[in-house]
Amino acid sequence: MRSFHSWLVVVLVPIFYFLFSACLHAQNAKKEKVDMLVAGGTVVTMNAERRIIEDGAVAVNGDAIVAVGSRANMESKYVAAQSINASGKLVLPGFINGHTHVPMTLLRGLRDDVTLDEWLRKYIFPAEAKNVTEEFVRWGTRLAAAEQIRGGVTKSNSAMLEYTEKFLKRWQGDALIHAAVAPHSIYTCSQKTLQDAAALARKYGAPILIHVAEMKKELDDSRAKNGTTPVQYLDKLGILGPDIVAAHCIFVDQADRKILAQRQVGCVHNPSSNMMLASGVAPVIEERAAGVAVGLGTDGPAGSNNDLDLMEEMDLAAKLQKITKMDPQALGAKAVVEMATIEGARALHMEKEIGSLEAGRKADLILVGLGAPNAVPMYDIYAQLAYALKGSDVETVIIGGRVVMRDKKLLTVDEPAVIAKAKEFKNKIEASLK
Ligand SMILES: [Zn+2]
């Protein structure tokens, strides 16, 4: 009897196994193959309806999102080469840092608590003149990449180098690098420089990044010299258009806001920087009401913020408007999450590519853990993101379909090497200023 049983097992198990796998194979053969399925978890799409999908999934092929839906539905349609389990986590479009100066990470904390003028003349300009080399830019950019990926930033708009025609040609059509022309501001650039920069950018279809109406002095000087506000001066020069990304936009009156909206200029609000430099409070609510796309940026990371944590900017953006208006309803959690994602994409004129989780968008997404003490309990997702969760709660980051951080481990940046180099640079920079 016993040997008969063993014989049965020997014969039947392979038969069952064969039938089962054939069945599974037939089922999978009907499914569409994709490269990656991020499944489970709460998918915060930031699409037009601001749809939130509990137990959702995102299918990715190459560098693009193929579909977004419920996990059950997506698993019945797609078979993936790589699965990422997101259960118990939030799945969001990657954050967009609309304004920063990345290689300046190496000058982080060089000198703080001084006026902008003193900071620039006494510290930053000499430090840059003596230290900025290709090597400096390379390591500073790597350090910034490591920090930004850790905080869930998948797109960062950096202005520092004076990008030349050669640079624009080199990066034209590149999927990851969007070369931009960055004339600093109306007070550091002549009318001719501004117009030449705009013409160069337009020749290559590159965006133009510029600091606009950041300081009271800039407004006063513009009124005295140009007879008008910084925004209206730039408009008179023919510079404002849908390819302009204007950082700060603090001293903009009602007429300026109307022009910014009409010309489809994107604005980037940098609350940390505006507070740290005591620049002023941007009229974010009025800008949004006028129809201007307002994104969020860290600025810095030297002298005007000192870190690249965009989640901190969400928190501060809301609180800064609340205290300024003495109204806790002035700017809410949902609005600041929008500014870090889809509105930030609109400000960069890239809302058809990034900023939301939708079919056809670039596969830039992040998984935010909800296991830390500061993450529980969660009643409202947007409030949790804006006021309770931190950049350090970001666990996994995918940029253009490529996993660049998995469970808090960076995969594309040699983090220990970058940290060691940053310390080395500090000694060199300090010595150069003696
Ligand atoms: Zn700046």
pLDDT of residue 72 exceeding 80, the answer is yes
Q: What is the CA(184)–ligand 1 centre distance, in A?
A: 8
So what's the pLDDT on residue 115? 83
Q: What is the CA(125)–ligand 1 centre distance, in A?
A: 15
Q: What is the CA(300)–ligand 1 centre distance, in A?
A: 7
Closest CA to 146 of 184, 90, 108, 174: 108
CB atoms within 10 A of CB 297: 32
So what's the pLDDT on residue 206? 85
| Residue 54, C-beta contacts closer than 8 angstroms, at least 6 positions apart | 42
Q: What is the CA(205)–ligand 1 centre distance, in A?
A: 22
- How many CA atoms does the CB half-sphere of 111 hold within 13 Å? 17
Condensed to tens digits (0 to 9), the pLDDT of residues 168-220 reads 666 666 555 566 788 889 998 999 999 999 998 898 888 899 999 999 999 99
Higher pLDDT, 418 or 184: 418
Mean pLDDT along residues 42-49: 98
| Beta-bridge partner residues of 33 | 79
In this structure, which amino acid lies at residue 51?
A: R
So what's the pLDDT on residue 180? 77
Q: What is the CA(298)–ligand 1 centre distance, in A?
A: 9
pLDDT of residue 78 exceeding 90, the answer is yes
Q: Where are the chain's structural domains?
A: 94-355+412-418
pTM passes above 0.85: yes
Q: What is the CA(302)–ligand 1 centre distance, in A?
A: 10
Q: Which DSSP letter does residue 204 get?
A: T
Q: What is the CA(229)–ligand 1 centre distance, in A?
A: 19
Separation in Å, CA 70 to CA 67, 102, 365, 372: 10, 37, 17, 25
Q: What is the CA(203)–ligand 1 centre distance, in A?
A: 24
Higher pLDDT, 258 or 123: 258
pLDDT of residue 342 exceeding 60, the answer is yes
So what's the pLDDT on residue 157? 84
Q: Which DSSP letter does residue 385 get?
A: I
Integer Cα distance of 407 and 413 in angstroms: 15
Q: Dig out the tokens for 356 from the structure.
A: 């939301």
Q: What is the CA(246)–ligand 1 centre distance, in A?
A: 10
pLDDT category at 120 given cuts 50, 70, 90 is confident
Q: What is the CA(351)–ligand 1 centre distance, in A?
A: 22
pLDDT of residue 22 exceeding 90, the answer is no
Q: What is the CA(364)–ligand 1 centre distance, in A?
A: 24
Note whether 297 and 268 are within 8 A (CB): yes
Q: What is the CA(40)–ligand 1 centre distance, in A?
A: 38
Q: Which CATH architecture has domain 94-355+412-418?
A: Alpha-Beta Barrel (3.20)
Q: What is the CA(222)–ligand 1 centre distance, in A?
A: 19
So what's the pLDDT on residue 25? 67
Q: What is the CA(108)–ligand 1 centre distance, in A?
A: 14
Note whether 198 and 189 are within 8 A (CB): no
Higher pLDDT, 4 or 301: 301
Q: What is the CA(227)–ligand 1 centre distance, in A?
A: 25
Q: What is the CA(261)–ligand 1 centre distance, in A?
A: 21
Helices (DSSP H) in 176-242: which residue ranges? 191-203, 216-226, 230-236
Q: What is the CA(210)–ligand 1 centre distance, in A?
A: 8
